[in-house]
Every structure is written in C-alpha cells, then in structure tokens.
Amino acid sequence: MTASTVRSTALFAIATLLSRITGLVRDSLFASYFGTSAQYDAYLVAIMIPFFLRKIFADGAMTMAFVPVFNEKLKSSRERAFMFASTVLIFVVIVSGAISAAGSLFSDGVASAFAGGFDQSALELTSQLIRISFPFIVLVSLWAVYCGVLNSLDAFFIAAVSPMFINLSTIAGILLSGRFSIPIVGPTIGFLVGGVIQLGVVALSARSKGFVFKPGYNKSDVRDFLLLFLFSAISPAINEINSFVDIRVSTELGRGAVSSLGYAQRLYQLPLGVFAIAVATVALPKLSKLTGEGSKEKFRSSLWDALTVLAFLIIPSTLGLLVLGEGIVRILFERGSFTPEDTALTTTLLYGYTLGLPFYGSYGVLSRAYYARKSPRTPTIISAIMVGVNVVLDILLGFTIGPLGVALATSIAGIVGTVIVSAALLRWTGYEKAKVTAMLKIIVASLVMSGLMLFGKAVFGTGSISTLITLTAGTAVYFLFIRILGLGNLMKFKNLLRGRES
C-alpha cells in the first residue's frame, strides 16, 4: 500500500470527521429543538432538494467530469488547466443559476412533487423554505469546481473541512430560531449563509495554490467538459431518483417518518462520508493519472490500495453500528423533543441502512475507477438497475412494513449495484492476492471487536456511559488485533499523520 494513498486518505478523513462532528452537534440540536415535528419534516425536504442537485451536478457530474479533464490539461501546464477551470466556473454559474431561479419561482410545484403526502400547512411551509434554500445550488456548484482544483493539486484538507461552516452556521440558526415567527426559518437561513462561507473558504484556498480566475469562455474547453459532464450526470441523476422516491414514499407514512429516516441517515452517512467518500475522493485523481498505455498494473495496484484502506475503515464501522446503534442514537439525540419512542424507531431504521454501508462504500470507489478512465457508460447502466430495484422495493416494502422498508430498499439496491460493478471492473483489472488476504484479516479483527461489543452490551446495557465504554473497548481491541494479524495500516496512519512516510 502506497504511503501517499494512506496519507491523503487520512488527511481527507480527518477533515471530513471534523465536518461530520459539527454535523452531529447540529443534528443533536435539531432533535432537541424540533424532534420529529412537521417543521423539521418540511426543512428536510426543502434542503434535500438542493442537496439532490448538488449530488447530481456538484459532487457527481462536476467531480467525475472535471477532475479527469483538469488533470489531463495539467499535464500540459498549470496555466492551461487554470484557464479550463475558469471556463467551467462560468458554465456552472449559468446552469446552476437557471436551476436555482426556476426552483424559487415554482417552489409550490416543487414542494408538491417532493412532499405530496404532507398536509396543506406543511406544504406551504416547505415551499417557503425552498425559496430560501434554493440559491444554495449556485454556491455549492461553484464550491465543487474549486474542490476539484484543490483535489487535483493534492490539497484535500480544506475542501473536506469546508462543509463544517455550513454546520456551524446552521447551528447558529437553530440557537436563534426562537427569534423567528416560524422557528425553522432560522436554521434554513443559517444553511444558506453557511454555503456562502464554505465557497469563500475553498476559493481563497485555491488562490493560495496559485489559481486565479481568468474571465473568458473557451468553446473547445466547454466541448471537452460538457460531453463528459452530460454522461457523468446520468449516473448520479439516476441514483438521486432513489432519494426522491425514498422521500416521496416517506411523506405518505405519517408525520415524523421523514424526520426519523433523516436522523438514521445522518448516522449511517457518518462513516460513509468520513471514510468511504474520503477514500473514493482521494482515489479518483490518482487513478486518473494512471490511464495511459502500460499503466494497467499501477492502476490495479492503486485501486486495490483504495479498497484495502476502505475495508480497514468501513467494515468495523458497519459492525459497530449494528451492535451499538441503539446506544449511539440515545447518546446523540434522545433529549428535549426527541423521545424514547423516537429512539426506538430511528435505531430500527439505522439498522436497515447500515446493512448497505460497506456496499455503497465499495461502489463509490469502483465506479470512480470507470470515471477515471473516462468510461461512464457502465456505472450509468448499473445505476439504472439500482434505481429500478430501489423504486420497486420502496413501494413494496414501504407500504407494507413502513419506514423500515424504505431503509431496507436502499441497502438492497446498493448490494445489487456493488455485486455487478465488482464483477465488471475486477474482471478487467484482476485481483491482488496480498490485498485480498489483508481484507480477510480485517474481517477477522472486526468480528473479534463485534464479539466484545455484544458481550459489553449484554452485560452493561445500552445506556450512554455503557455504550461509550463498550465502544472504546471494542475499538481498542480492533486496533490490537490489526497489529496481531500483521497489518501495517494503523502504524502507517499514525506515522503519516506525524509527517513521516514509511
């Protein structure tokens, strides 16, 4: 495993962890102030819409299309690459600005499409919040371009930590919510203000790396980017249909269903965001530089490096959530307006989502390998299959067993997609025996950890203090067995964070 892969992933994961920790503080305050109320349901729908578009255009197509082309032009010169980035920034302002304006003008229709199961007062509130939140689309799309520049220059930390400012601004909005006639308006405004700050942070960081925006519009660059962008947008757009159907079905399942699913998703997305997305984000620019003739062995090695680091982080996280989920939900959310009944429901939904966690993590890395090769067709087809599975199961399971059916549908769709993309890609790249062996050892260490956690849970219960003690002990045992089994991952993380490469 290369030192640079571990070091870059570690720095990105630490930055993302800082952001996610502030996100947990934000969600804990939401639980205390708003619980699973209709106001919080409306808020989640309103901010999820720009988040959906962010994932399609910003995190998805923008990242997949921009990074490979930027790196290609970077081989010529930094000036040429920066000129390309400036052209993309102009293109992004035009496209995202049009979408933002349309959503604000037709907010009533957008609210009805996404939250048709709400009553009239909740629909009106959702529409109002949409008008506040939709300009975020422009801000986050520009942010994605600057992050692409920074990641391509191996500057991962600032890009990963910048979402923390949205969380901090939203927290301020929650604390000040009592000053508004409709309290939920406070955090919605905070969300938008945070987007402004987030964009400013990455723009200043890119400038410190030498990037200067140069007004101009290169048609050749637009053609190079737009073709890959449009193809790249198909896959995340298809994926986001999953989220749309999840939300739409949830609005039909009674008040609080959207909120409970939201709280469960936050916890499920913590390891996904801190670890899986960190690994995938670091892997994309590295793989993009290994697509020439004669680079297949290096490409395979880099891909398996990423998968091994992912396994080291995501497998114990998955088992930990499955064993200690109830206690973790209680620690983070059960206070104020968030009741023990809310804890029970959220925990059940968390289990449903967590089953798919390692599969979505793997899918993120494997699909990026295709985008690195400028070959988006296969992940697009697989994404279409995944959304078909999810939509059918959302309807079948959601309307029969309730919100848990929505969570299970998401996990099953991820499992199906990962099995298919693995078979397609690894048939081309081949396997690395040493990395597969390392993954098996990681599974063994994770199972030992889980056994200890199950024992601690049975003996001490699921109270806050008991859960923290059991979690700490289980984590320590996992790291101990990683060393006993001869894996150097932990020591590499520690050494690299101290600035020494091994």
Q: What is the pLDDT along the chain (502 residues), one digit of tens a residue?
A: 455 555 666 676 677 778 888 988 999 999 999 988 889 999 998 988 787 767 776 566 666 778 878 888 888 888 888 888 898 898 889 888 998 999 999 999 989 888 878 889 999 999 999 999 999 999 998 998 898 888 888 777 888 789 899 999 999 999 999 999 999 999 999 999 999 999 999 999 999 988 888 777 777 777 777 777 777 776 666 666 777 788 788 888 877 788 888 889 888 888 887 777 777 777 777 777 766 666 777 888 888 888 888 899 899 999 999 999 999 999 989 888 888 888 999 999 999 999 999 999 888 888 888 877 777 778 878 888 998 999 999 999 998 998 999 999 999 999 999 999 888 777 777 777 888 898 999 999 999 999 999 999 998 888 888 999 999 999 999 999 998 988 765 445 444 333 333 3
Residue 438 lies in a domain: no
pTM: 0.73
**Rounded distance between C-alpha atoms, residue 63 and residue 385, angstroms:** 22
Q: What is the pLDDT of residues 281-311, one digit of tens each?
A: 777 777 777 666 667 778 888 888 888 888 9
Is 155 in contact with 209 (CB distance < 8 Å)?
Answer: yes
**Rounded distance between C-alpha atoms, residue 146 and residue 447, angstroms:** 41
Q: What is the pLDDT of residues 26-68, one digit of tens each?
A: 999 999 999 888 899 999 989 887 877 677 765 666 667 788 7
**Rounded distance between C-alpha atoms, residue 425 and residue 148, angstroms:** 24
Q: Which residue range is the domain that position 142 belongs to? A: 38-236
Residue 24 lies in a domain: no
DSSP, collapsed to helix, strand or coil, labels residue 438 as helix
Is 42 in contact with 262 (CB distance < 8 Å)?
Answer: no
Residue 443 lies in a domain: no
Is 250 in contact with 264 (CB distance < 8 Å)?
Answer: no
Give pLDDT, residue 258. 84
Residue 227 lies in a domain: yes
Give pLDDT, residue 255. 75
> Which tokens go with 102?
């349309």
Give pLDDT, residue 491. 45
Give pLDDT, residue 62. 67
Give pLDDT, residue 501. 38
**Rounded distance between C-alpha atoms, residue 173 and residue 263, angstroms:** 19
Residue 267 lies in a domain: no
Count of domains observed in the chain: 1
**Rounded distance between C-alpha atoms, residue 237 and residue 290, angstroms:** 27
Residue 138 lies in a domain: yes
Residue 261 lies in a domain: no
**Rounded distance between C-alpha atoms, residue 430 and residue 448, angstroms:** 30
Angle 266-190-346 from CA coordinates, rounded to 5°: 20
DSSP 214-278: -----HHHHHHHHHHHHHHHHHHHHHHHHHHHHHHHHTTS-TTHHHHHHHHHHHHHHHIIIIIHH
Is 195 in contact with 144 (CB distance < 8 Å)?
Answer: no
Residue 271 lies in a domain: no
Is 338 in contact with 31 (CB distance < 8 Å)?
Answer: yes
